[in-house]
């Protein structure tokens, strides 16, 4: 009898919660009753809101009602084994195979830039750096003083402005987006006095672009499809990004000259290499994920270089490569039913497989999908989904990152942040509910750090082969890193380093010999360095 009574009280709870929710949405009572009658699953609490899980059929318990503990065990089993050393080693092999194939024939990734030289450290002068990221556009006037004078610093920011790229801006199609950029540049430079007299020769600009691009020279590249919800490439695919930006700036009468474009991963590598010439790798993990690597040119099949001047080939022994790491992993990543659901609802599910598992754009959504199922099948949150979490991407990675930073047994800070962003109209979540989110978030973030480490390991191993090193270059390998997840997500970078150490050791290298080192303001500084390198080249 007991379970039946409990089930009935749950049904009643869900029924009243559904009515209150509907009334809150200012529907008439009649509409509410009709809705519940038409959709009996609402009162069974089976699927509080089908759109909440992206419409995909996710159920770890085959639709059975289960207890909280059983559910959490299922989640643990789904996520934890994918971070075992054995699985990561296998994955690294698989990724390396895909990376090697892309050196042969792939127009979307393992993209050789035009940067065949690392900065000498002698680059000096003032440059305007532009950084188009996943959620901000930053403009900065930067002074490069030369490696000696910089004394371990990458450069000096004289002036900077940050503009939010909200959904409205992301949806600007084609030239409208570049006009928006030019307006922001004008705003930043207006009243400019320090560093450059605008009546003089044009100010050199370097651009860090956090999207794929097919470079056609140091200052130009063909616009490719953009992820992260941006529509700027709409109608302009294959057009020259440098010309588009220059034209928008000219229309506003700005005395600037764009002389370098680099992907943000390459910018990170360049910025660190400016102060530390041994840098050969860079890793970005924020809204998106990517890595850049310095490779000998002989590993590419000739068509990968497109049409380049003879002089380029004559000088280039190595090249900085934008790997577009986000696009690897098809068919070999450890997908759970919640990852499947995420992809099922994604407008471009096959474009960036790795990114869907690891980046700030998705970690919150994976946690939300698991949580929704816990609410619906295991009675978390009293079986009622907080209204603000019914739509995809409503649980931000930032929220779970704050929650994970609370290590106290009472989780007061985690509770406060969660309830302020996602209040439950009918009840206050109990400690066990908050613990459940905390634990789910940790499974998702630890797996992400393991997968990112595996990507770096695969690249490290590929470079060792390409350079003819035995299992290791015999010196410390620096991986310059940047990006909100690596910088701010509690424990993420440490976990990533730990997994990397294990993989390096497992493949005959010395523990700690591949080290993640922070590259501060790497996109802006790298854009300036790219501008300076290009100025020296022309
Ligand atoms: C983009 C890359 C970029 C990375 C990090 C990915 O989504 O495709 O070009 O480097 O995000 O910003």
Q: Are the CB atoms for 142 and 155 separated by under 8 Å? A: yes
For residue 251, pLDDT over 60 is answered with yes
Distance CA 286, CA 210 (A): 10
Q: Which atom of ligand 1 is nearest to the CA of 211?
A: 9
Share of the chain above pLDDT 70, in %: 86
Query: Does 131 contact ligand 1 (Cβ within 6 A)?
Result: no
For residue 51, pLDDT over 50 is answered with no
For residue 512, pLDDT over 90 is answered with no
Query: Does 240 contact ligand 1 (Cβ within 6 A)?
Result: no
For residue range 455-497, list pLDDT tens digits in order: 999 999 999 999 999 877 777 899 999 999 999 999 999 999 9
Instruction: Give residue 18's pLDDT.
Output: 40
As a whole number, mean pLDDT of residues 97-126 equals 94
DSSP one-letter code for 54: T
For residue 537, pLDDT over 80 is answered with no
For residue range 345-379, list pLDDT tens digits in order: 999 999 999 999 999 999 999 999 999 999 999 99
Q: Please give the residue that has the higher pLDDT: either 91 or 64.
A: 91
Using CA positions, which residue lies closest to atom 8 of ligand 1?
A: 211
As a whole number, mean pLDDT of residues 31-37 equals 29
For residue range 52-73, list pLDDT tens digits in order: 444 444 567 777 789 999 999 9
- Encoded tokens for 504: 């390096």
What is residue 136's three-state secondary structure?
strand
Q: Which atom of ligand 1 is nearest to the CA of 265?
A: 10
Q: How far is the CA of 229 from the centre of ligand 1 (A)?
A: 12
Instruction: Give residue 475's pLDDT.
Output: 79
Instruction: Name the nearest CA neighbour of 507 among 132, 117, 96, 164.
Output: 96
Query: Does 291 contact ligand 1 (Cβ within 6 A)?
Result: no
For residue 192, pLDDT over 90 is answered with no
For residue 332, pLDDT over 50 is answered with yes
For residue range 199-220, list pLDDT tens digits in order: 578 999 999 999 999 999 999 9
Please give the CATH architecture assigned to the domain spanning 119-262: 2-Layer Sandwich (3.30)
Q: Which atom of ligand 1 is nearest to the CA of 327?
A: 8
> How would you classify residue 306: left for phi > 0, otherwise alpha for psi between -120 and 50, otherwise beta?
left
Q: How far is the CA of 133 from the centre of ligand 1 (A)?
A: 8
Q: Which atom of ligand 1 is nearest to the CA of 133?
A: 12
Q: What angle do CA 439, 440, 445 make, to 5 degrees?
A: 100
Query: Does 165 contact ligand 1 (Cβ within 6 A)?
Result: no
For residue 336, pLDDT over 50 is answered with yes
Query: Within 10 A of 114 (CB to CB), how many other CB atoms are there?
Result: 27
Instruction: Name the nearest CA neighbour of 274 among 367, 181, 156.
Output: 156
Distance CA 441, CA 116 (A): 41
- Encoded tokens for 180: 């928006």
Instruction: Give residue 41's pLDDT.
Output: 28
Q: In sequence order, what are the residues at sequence separation of 6 or more whose Cβ sits closer than 8 angstroms to the Cβ of residue 338?
A: 58, 78, 366, 369, 370, 373
Query: Does 522 contact ligand 1 (Cβ within 6 A)?
Result: no
Q: Are the CB atoms for 324 and 290 separated by under 8 Å? A: yes
The domain locations on the chain are 65-113+269-522, 119-262
Q: In 471-538, which ranges are continuous DSSP H helix?
A: 484-488, 492-506, 522-537
Distance CA 220, CA 58 (A): 45
Using CA positions, which residue lies closest to atom 2 of ligand 1?
A: 211
Instruction: Give residue 35's pLDDT.
Output: 30
- Encoded tokens for 126: 């003032």
Residues in the chain: 538
Query: Does 221 contact ligand 1 (Cβ within 6 A)?
Result: no
Name the average pLDDT for the chain: 87
Query: Does 154 contact ligand 1 (Cβ within 6 A)?
Result: no
Query: Does 360 contact ligand 1 (Cβ within 6 A)?
Result: no
For residue 230, pLDDT over 90 is answered with yes
Query: Does 452 contact ligand 1 (Cβ within 6 A)?
Result: no
Instruction: Give residue 1's pLDDT.
Output: 33
Query: Confidence band (pLDDT; 50, 70, 90) for 426?
Result: confident
Instruction: Name the nearest CA neighbour of 118 among 274, 291, 268.
Output: 274
Q: What is the largest CA-CA distance in the chain?
A: 87
What is the best residue among 170, 209, 212, 482 to mutate for testing ligand 1's pocket, by most ligand atoms within 8 Å of CB? 212
Q: Are the CB atoms for 483 and 514 separated by under 8 Å? A: no
Using CA positions, which residue lies closest to atom 11 of ligand 1?
A: 288
As a whole number, mean pLDDT of residues 92-109 equals 96
What is the best residue among 268, 282, 324 to mutate for testing ligand 1's pocket, by most ligand atoms within 8 Å of CB? 324
Q: Please give the residue that has the higher pLDDT: either 65 or 297.
A: 297
Are β-strands 213-217 and 281-285 bridged in parallel, bridged antiparallel, or unpaired?
unpaired
Strand order in the sheet with 156-164: 156-164, 136-144, 125-132, 203-209, 256-263
Alpha carbon distances (Å) from 179 to 182, 246, 250? 5, 10, 10
For residue range 320-331, list pLDDT tens digits in order: 999 999 999 999
Using CA positions, which residue lies closest to atom 1 of ligand 1?
A: 211
Q: Which atom of ligand 1 is nearest to the CA of 134?
A: 12
Using CA positions, which residue lies closest to atom 6 of ligand 1?
A: 288
- Burial of 66 (C-beta count, 10 Å sphere; 0-12/13-18/19+): middle
Instruction: Give residue 43's pLDDT.
Output: 24
Q: How far is the CA of 85 from the centre of ligand 1 (A)?
A: 27
What is residue 353's three-state secondary structure?
helix
- Looking at the domain that runs over 65-113+269-522, which CATH code has it been given? 3.40.367.20
Share of the chain above pLDDT 90, in %: 77
Query: Does 481 contact ligand 1 (Cβ within 6 A)?
Result: no
As a whole number, mean pLDDT of residues 309-315 equals 95
């Amino acid at each position: 009898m007991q379970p039946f009574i409990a089930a009935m009280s749950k049904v009643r709870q869900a029924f009243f919660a559904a009515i209150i929710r509907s009334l809150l949405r200012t529907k008439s009572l009649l509409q509410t009753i009709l809705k519940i009658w038409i959709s009996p699953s609402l009162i069974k609490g089976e699927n509080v809101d089908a759109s909440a899980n992206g419409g995909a059929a996710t159920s770890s318990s085959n639709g059975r009602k289960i207890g909280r503990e059983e559910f959490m065990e299922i989640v643990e089993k789904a996520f934890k084994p994918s971070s075992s050393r054995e699985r990561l080693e296998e994955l690294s092999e698989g990724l390396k195979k895909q990376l090697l194939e892309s050196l042969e024939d792939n127009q979307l990734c393992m993209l050789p830039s035009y940067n065949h030289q690392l900065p000498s450290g002698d680059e000096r002068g003032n440059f305007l750096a532009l950084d188009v990221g996943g959620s901000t556009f930053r403009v900065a006037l930067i002074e490069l003083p030369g490696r000696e004078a910089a004394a371990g610093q990458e450069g000096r920011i004289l002036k900077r402005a940050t503009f939010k790229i909200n959904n409205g801006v992301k949806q600007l199609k084609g030239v409208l987006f570049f006009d928006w950029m030019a307006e922001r540049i004008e705003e930043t430079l207006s009243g400019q006095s320090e560093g450059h007299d605008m009546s003089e020769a044009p100010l050199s600009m370097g651009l860090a672009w956090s999207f794929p691009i097919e470079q056609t020279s140091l200052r130009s590249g063909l616009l490719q499809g953009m992820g992260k919800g941006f529509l700027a490439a709409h109608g302009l695919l294959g057009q020259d990004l440098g010309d588009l930006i220059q034209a928008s700036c000219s229309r506003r009468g700005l005395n600037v000259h764009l002389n370098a474009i680099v992907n943000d991963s390459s910018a990170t590598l360049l910025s660190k290499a400016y102060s530390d010439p041994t840098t050969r790798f860079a890793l970005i993990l924020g809204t998106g994920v990517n890595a850049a690597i310095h490779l000998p040119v002989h590993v590419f099949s000739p068509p990968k270089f497109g049409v380049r001047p003879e002089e380029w080939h004559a000088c280039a022994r190595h090249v900085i490569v934008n790997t577009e790491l986000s696009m690897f992993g098809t068919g070999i990543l450890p997908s759970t039913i919640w990852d499947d659901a995420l992809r099922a609802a994604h407008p471009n599910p096959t474009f960036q497989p790795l990114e869907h598992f690891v980046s700030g754009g998705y970690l919150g959504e994976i946690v939300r999908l698991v949580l929704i199922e816990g609410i619906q099948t295991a009675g978390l949150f009293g079986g009622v989904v907080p209204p603000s979490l019914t739509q995809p991407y409503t649980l931000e990675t930032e929220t779970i990152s704050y929650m994970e930073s609370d290590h106290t047994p009472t989780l007061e800070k985690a509770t406060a942040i969660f309830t302020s962003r996602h209040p439950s109209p009918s009840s206050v979540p109990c400690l066990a509910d908050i613990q459940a989110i905390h634990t789910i978030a940790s499974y998702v973030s630890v797996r992400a750090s393991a997968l990112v480490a595996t990507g770096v390991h695969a690249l490290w191993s590929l470079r060792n082969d390409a350079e003819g090193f035995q299992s290791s270059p015999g010196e410390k390998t620096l991986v310059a890193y940047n990006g909100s997840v690596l910088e701010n997500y509690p424990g993420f970078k440490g976990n990533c380093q730990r997994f990397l150490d294990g993989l390096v050791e497992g493949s005959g290298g010395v523990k700690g010999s591949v080290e993640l080192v922070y590259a501060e303001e790497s996109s802006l500084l790298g854009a300036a360095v790219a501008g300076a390198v290009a100025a020296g080249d022309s």
